[in-house]
Amino acid sequence: MNAALHRRAKELFLDACDLPPEERAGFLAQRCGEDAELRSAVERLLAHDGAPSVVAERVVHEQLASLLDEEGARALPAEIGRYRVLGLLGEGGFGTVYEAEQLEPVRRVVALKVLKPGMDSRQVLARFAAERQTLALMSHPCIATVLDAGITADGRPFFAMERVLGVPLGRYCDEQQLDLASRLQLFLRICGAVLHAHQKGIVHRDLKPSNLLVATVDGSPLPKVIDFGIAKALQPLEPDADITRERGLFLGTPEYVSPEQAAGELDIDTRSDIYSLGAVLYELLAGTTPLERETTRQLGLPALLLRIQSEVPPRPSLRVAEESERALAIARARRTDPQSLARALRGDLDWIALKALAKERAERYQTVSALAEDLERYRRGEPVLARAPSFAYRSARFARRNRAALLAAAAMLVLLLGGIVGTSLGLVRALRSQGAAEEAQRRAETFSEILLRALASGDPLEGGSVDRRVSEVMQQVVAELDAGALRQHPATEAEVQMRVARTLLGNDHPAEGLPLAERALALYTASGPERASDTARARSLVAIHLDRLGRTSEAEPLFRAVLDARRAQQDGDHPELAYALRGLGVVLQHRGRLDEAEAHYREALAMERRLHPEDHAEIASALNNLGSLLQSKGRSAEAEASFREVLEMRRRLRPEGDPLTARALANLAQSLLAQRRTAEAEPLAQEALEMFRRTLPTDHADLAIGWTSVAFAQQASGRAAEAEAALREALALYRRNAAGDHHQVAGALANLADLLLGSRRDEDAEALLGEALAMLERLFPQGHPLAVRCGANRAVALLRTSRPEEALEAAQRAAELGRAILEPTHGLRVQTEKILAQVQSAR
């Protein structure tokens, strides 16, 4: 608007404003004519004539009040109580902090925190006095003690405390450009201080960076937690939750206050501090508070409370992943770049921070030491206890132990690569139930808690180790369950049964786990429709056991039932449904119904991609399923593409490498070998072996996957002797881990026999296959696809060693078994029939 228009509008407004409203339109039409701009300007003024609030005065008065408020607070009194004021240290939300000198009984310099006017000073002092004895118990180098409290001449409460020369934690870290490791170290020292206070029964209630001051002492940072005891003293004596909520009297800082404290709940305990520590950790890592400061500051109280109580913050790694100036600055302050920072945070650190920030305090770390220990585990590169809200992490860790039944390079027969998925499914499933199991755990009596933990400790998939003593404990538990120890608690018994079954499955003992899983299924089925989800869980577990036992025809209907149940439980995409789709896909793949399996895998994969908009362990697993299937179909180039994506995703998820990434390398190598791209395959296989060695204990069975993969590459490039040595390493590893009959041992025997057949060492091969078949018959009395393969190959070996009658017998048995347990189109069955025909014609 220009000045002339403004003035014209003003004149017309003044002429029109005293006219009766009904005459105004005519007046304006006459005076403004065609000038629509002028008319609208006048109408705008008329509309605001006599506006109810006189905004300018109001704003000016408010501003003056706030200005004077600040000035008044800044006024430097000469003395406060028996302290001589030396200077102003700072101003905070509470009030003003002065540097002051105490003259008696000892002469020392202290910090005096004088609170803003507006509260009942006597009550504050009374509450502080009540806390004083407790506060005096604290003695920790990282805690600044509150020494004294009093009332100023003008009636305001003040606290005298140890003067700390330091800057707020976040500022210190950014100014010093501390990297993640140094930040965590500093944070752990703060945890130590808070733990000390908690052990004395003191909750801070207002932990935030400005109460965590850091100074450089002797060249290293020394953190100090200040203000212990103050927040509690300021808390109303008899807080009324409703009034608190209504009037916004809650004490704390919106970005760091726990939901229960924000809601004005009465029983604030140490876990409230754990939440605040979580928020501090989050900001240290990602440079942003969990609930963004910019947005919390614009919310009204009800909206703010709602956010604090319900909004789950994004994972810290997502905060730094964006490409912006801000992300760049945050990363730079941590001596890295946004991509590397996001990678470093993704996973363990994400989950540790989010676990500490759980809305429900029962879901947080229960003690500061638990939080600190998890961070220490992270620093040592050990698995952390925190887990993602989804089951991604656990599944990744479970799948780590999957037995990759790698495709035999020998062109003769197809080994069941899909076997890997069966295992992984069991593990993924196990994981998922973890959440529910934990829920149950909380409710269960202490003994069952201890029991479950003891049982899980025997599961190498959960960071435990195969340990005879644990196995014995487990057998004892099973015996106790059989004796009816938990008969009164069917749900608990079912969970324990499933837990034991999963541990057995994790150790590749499906035959022993099956009865337990079946018992759990029976228990849940008996407890009616409200247990439908648990029933589906147990049914999946039974199906996985059956699949692993080669009883795929029994597994299939079970998985179909699970799938139907999941579809009935919830519309649309959900993780349980995606899981069930994959489970059925695995069974179908094992049954040789590859097209159906592919359809299920693709549906599951698409769903996982929708459920997880970015990299996710579940997407990688689903892709791996699809890759293995495409490999079985001989579509190696497509399999290669899938495995490459799996590999890349896992490398992003775990840049430091892990057994799952190693497995992806091995699978990719296999798909390249199938395309006769030996030169490309071998380095990948070597890298897989190297990564397995780096990330697993020396004797871990999964090292065998690495050896097998390398062996196949060497075999393909004609280095049979090296390949044989590698396969014998794999066999030895499986034998050491299995201590007896095991399908992995049988698989390793079969792989070695294939190699020997290729070198025309037919007699040696025949002996190995004989051993494998005997083992498989003991393991899988109802037959197993691997037995079909071994039988067919043994027939070839017998034929070559001029034993045609035995060859025919072996081929016929293999073909019969194939017809019994495999679909007519199954590659293995087709190949076996061809071998039978050859053996027959050779006679």
Residue 443 as a binder of other proteins (CB under 8 A): the answer is no
Residue 87 as a binder of other proteins (CB under 8 A): the answer is no
DSSP letter, residue 211: G
Indicate which single residue of 33, 37, 61, 237 sits in contact with other proteins (rule: CB under 8 A): 61
Indicate which single residue of 54, 109, 329, 774 sits in contact with other proteins (rule: CB under 8 A): 54
Buried b (16+ CB within 10 A) or exposed e, 593-603: bbebbbebbbb
Backbone angles phi, psi at 157, to 5 degrees: -70, 145
Indicate which single residue of 35, 79, 154, 805 sits in contact with other proteins (rule: CB under 8 A): 154
Indicate which single residue of 50, 87, 219, 572 sits in contact with other proteins (rule: CB under 8 A): 50
- Cβ 238 to other proteins, closest distance in Å? 17
Radius of gyration of the CA atoms of the chain, in A: 35
- Cβ 186 to other proteins, closest distance in Å? 18
Residue 385 as a binder of other proteins (CB under 8 A): the answer is no
State which residue, 21 or 105, has the beta carbon closest to other proteins.
21
The region of 70-78, 707-715, 737-745, 834-842 touching other proteins under the rule CB under 8 A is 70-78
CB neighbour class for 526 (10 Å; exposed up to 12, middle 13-18, buried from 19):
exposed
State which residue, 25 or 679, has the beta carbon closest to other proteins.
25
Residue 259 as a binder of other proteins (CB under 8 A): the answer is no
Indicate which single residue of 25, 26, 37, 63 sits in contact with other proteins (rule: CB under 8 A): 63
Distance CA(794)–CA(804), nearest Å, equals: 11
- Cβ 109 to other proteins, closest distance in Å? 23
Secondary element (H or E) of residue 356: helix 348-356
Distance CA(512)–CA(416), nearest Å, equals: 22
Q: Which amino acid is at 350?
A: D
DSSP letter, residue 118: S
Tell me which residues in 17-46 interact with other proteins (CB under 8 A): 17, 21, 44-46
Residue 483 as a binder of other proteins (CB under 8 A): the answer is no
Tell me which residues in 161-190 interact with other proteins (CB under 8 A): 168
Indicate which single residue of 102, 210, 695, 709 sits in contact with other proteins (rule: CB under 8 A): 210
Backbone angles phi, psi at 160, to 5 degrees: -105, 130
Indicate which single residue of 25, 55, 129, 820 sits in contact with other proteins (rule: CB under 8 A): 55
Residues 331, 341 contacting (CB under 8 angstroms): yes
- Cβ 154 to other proteins, closest distance in Å? 6
Tell me which residues in 623-662 interact with other proteins (CB under 8 A): none
Tell me which residues in 226-255 interact with other proteins (CB under 8 A): 234, 247-254
CA 764 to chain centre: 48
State which residue, 174 or 508, has the beta carbon closest to other proteins.
174
- For 630, the token pair is 């495409």
Mask for 714-753, x = binds other proteins (CB under 8 A): ----------------------------------------
Backbone angles phi, psi at 591, to 5 degrees: -85, -5
Residue 383 as a binder of other proteins (CB under 8 A): the answer is no
Query: Which residues have CB under 8 Å from 22's CB, separation 6+?
Result: none
Tell me which residues in 693-712 interact with other proteins (CB under 8 A): none
Number of residues in contact with other proteins, rule: CB under 8 A? 75
Residue 77 as a binder of other proteins (CB under 8 A): the answer is yes
The region of 9-17, 460-468, 537-545, 666-674 touching other proteins under the rule CB under 8 A is 9-17
Secondary element (H or E) of residue 477: helix 468-482
State which residue, 286 or 514, has the beta carbon closest to other proteins.
286
- For 359, the token pair is 């809305």
Residue 610 as a binder of other proteins (CB under 8 A): the answer is no
DSSP output for 618-651: HHHHHHHHHHHHHHHTT-HHHHHHHHHHHHHHHH
- Cβ 420 to other proteins, closest distance in Å? 49
State which residue, 301 or 318, has the beta carbon closest to other proteins.
301
Q: Tell whether omega for the bond before 105 is within 30 degrees of 0, i.e. cis.
A: yes
Distance CA(811)–CA(83), nearest Å, equals: 100
Q: Is position 206 annotated as part of the catalytic site?
A: yes
Residue 774 as a binder of other proteins (CB under 8 A): the answer is no
Indicate which single residue of 126, 153, 237, 842 sits in contact with other proteins (rule: CB under 8 A): 153
Residue 439 as a binder of other proteins (CB under 8 A): the answer is no
First to last CA, the chain: 105
- Cβ 368 to other proteins, closest distance in Å? 22
Tell me which residues in 269-328 interact with other proteins (CB under 8 A): 293, 296-301, 304
The region of 207-215, 491-499, 568-576, 713-721 touching other proteins under the rule CB under 8 A is 207-215
Buried b (16+ CB within 10 A) or exposed e, 242-271: eebbeeebbbbbbbbbbbbbbebbeebebb
Tell me which residues in 521-560 interact with other proteins (CB under 8 A): none
Residue 613 as a binder of other proteins (CB under 8 A): the answer is no
Q: Give the CA dihedral 543, 580, 522, 783, nearest 10 degrees.
A: -10
Indicate which single residue of 92, 435, 655, 657 sits in contact with other proteins (rule: CB under 8 A): 92
State which residue, 81 or 758, has the beta carbon closest to other proteins.
81
Residue 13, CA atoms < 13 Å, CB-side half-sphere: 18
Indicate which single residue of 26, 33, 93, 740 sits in contact with other proteins (rule: CB under 8 A): 93
Residues 119, 157 contacting (CB under 8 angstroms): yes
Tell me which residues in 459-478 interact with other proteins (CB under 8 A): none
Among 588, 599, 632, 557, CA closest to 823: 588
120, 148, 206, 595: the active-site residue: 206
Indicate which single residue of 36, 52, 218, 242 sits in contact with other proteins (rule: CB under 8 A): 52
Among 809, 822, 821, CA closest to 835: 809
Instruction: Kindly report the number of other CB atoms within 10 A of residue 238's CB atom.
Output: 7
State which residue, 249 or 522, has the beta carbon closest to other proteins.
249
- Cβ 320 to other proteins, closest distance in Å? 17
State which residue, 69 or 573, has the beta carbon closest to other proteins.
69
Distance CA(834)–CA(339), nearest Å, equals: 54
Backbone angles phi, psi at 83, to 5 degrees: -110, 140
- Cβ 624 to other proteins, closest distance in Å? 44
Among 559, 457, 473, 556, CA closest to 507: 457
- For 759, the token pair is 């070198």
Residue 85 as a binder of other proteins (CB under 8 A): the answer is no
- Cβ 279 to other proteins, closest distance in Å? 13
The region of 113-121, 340-348, 435-443, 818-826 touching other proteins under the rule CB under 8 A is 113-121
Sheet holding 220-225, edge to edge: 167-168, 212-217, 220-225
Tell me which residues in 117-136 interact with other proteins (CB under 8 A): 117-119, 121
DSSP letter, residue 143: B
- Cβ 300 to other proteins, closest distance in Å? 6
Instruction: Kindly report the number of other CB atoms within 10 A of residue 792's CB atom.
Output: 28
State which residue, 53 or 446, has the beta carbon closest to other proteins.
53
Residue 62 as a binder of other proteins (CB under 8 A): the answer is yes
State which residue, 208 or 539, has the beta carbon closest to other proteins.
208
3-state secondary structure (DSSP) of residue 571: coil
List helix spans (H) across 33-151: 36-47, 55-74, 121-136
Distance CA(371)–CA(640), nearest Å, equals: 41
Catalytic residue positions? 206
